[in-house]
Amino acid sequence: MQPPTTRQAPCRVIRIIFPAALLLCATLSGCNNSCYSGFWNGNGSGVAVGNTSCPLTPATGNVTVQMGAASVSSVSAASTSSAVFASVPSPREIQHIYITLRAIDARASSAADDAASGWQQLAPAFAAHPAQVDLLALSAEYIPATIPAEEYRQLRLLLMAQHPSSDEAIPERNACGNVGWNCVVFADGSVRPLEFGGAAPEVKITPQSAENLFRVLPDESVRLSIQFDARSSSFFSPNTPDNMEASAALQMVPVFRVVVLTP
């Protein structure tokens, strides 16, 4: 009769070899979206290995957005072309341009379809805490956002409507007073509301050249500056009797440029 140690030796060999073989099998299979699972009961009679398809975690990077004027200065009729204020009666120096942001999004696609998916939030906190910013002021920087690594070709600013619904979050303070949430403040203290099309106004920013595209690399951080170009933007007042009032709404065609800041 053989000693017990002799009969148990093959079992020990299997216990050692099988986990190593399973690990080697999983290693050689590569990263082809596969997941492996199995069990080993220790005596060689119960062995199972499963191979199922599973999605890989997409690579991501961080984006920090800041927003403000391309050059910090007031806008006056004397320093702009007459076309900028073509239909605005008695243009006066503008001191502030306030807009209230409820989202800043980016998308890899440059398609004009508003219903297309793929928008990534660059300022997630705005959903619960919209921010009112002065486009003529120094840049304000927001909390970084984690988004998929990608080359982004389009931005959009979602603005608060002049009269938001009762269930919408609103900022604690409103520099526009009682004229709404988007406005122009003149040097003489007068305030005129800014209007945008639609119940939920937005501004699309599509970079005009490859230099203005921004790329988010895996595990890297990007600082992005959205700069308002006051001298290239246009203001006009619809030619109606109601808009000849000093407090009537203005419409603005804003021009923004996108700049990737160096660390």
pLDDT, tens digit (0-9, with 9 covering 90-100), for 61-74: 999 999 988 864 44
The residue ranking higher by pLDDT, 162 or 223, is 223
Contact present, 161 and 207 (Cβ < 8 Å) = no
Window from 9-13, 193-197, 207-211 with minimum mean pLDDT: 9-13
Contact present, 222 and 260 (Cβ < 8 Å) = yes
CA distance 78 to 81: 8
DSSP string, 86-121: TTSSS---EEEEEEEEEEEEEES-----TT-S--EE
pLDDT, tens digit (0-9, with 9 covering 90-100), for 234-259: 877 765 544 445 668 888 888 888 88
Q: Give the CA count within 13 Å in the CB-facing half-sphere of 29.
A: 16
pLDDT, tens digit (0-9, with 9 covering 90-100), for 87-132: 444 445 888 999 999 999 999 987 766 666 789 999 999 999 999 9
Map out the domains of the chain as residue ranges. Answer: 4-53, 60-261
CA distance 72 to 134: 11
User: pTM of the full predicted structure?
Assistant: 0.70
Report the pLDDT averaged over residues 153-171. Answer: 90
**What's the confidence (pLDDT) of residue 27?**
45
Contact present, 228 and 256 (Cβ < 8 Å) = yes
**What's the confidence (pLDDT) of residue 55?**
62
Report the pLDDT averaged over residues 196-214. Answer: 72
Contact present, 135 and 230 (Cβ < 8 Å) = yes
Q: Is the pLDDT of residue 151 over 60?
A: yes
Window from 14-18, 134-138, 178-182, 244-248 with minimum mean pLDDT: 14-18
CA distance 173 to 170: 8
Q: Kindly report the number of other CB atoms within 10 A of residue 245's CB atom.
A: 11
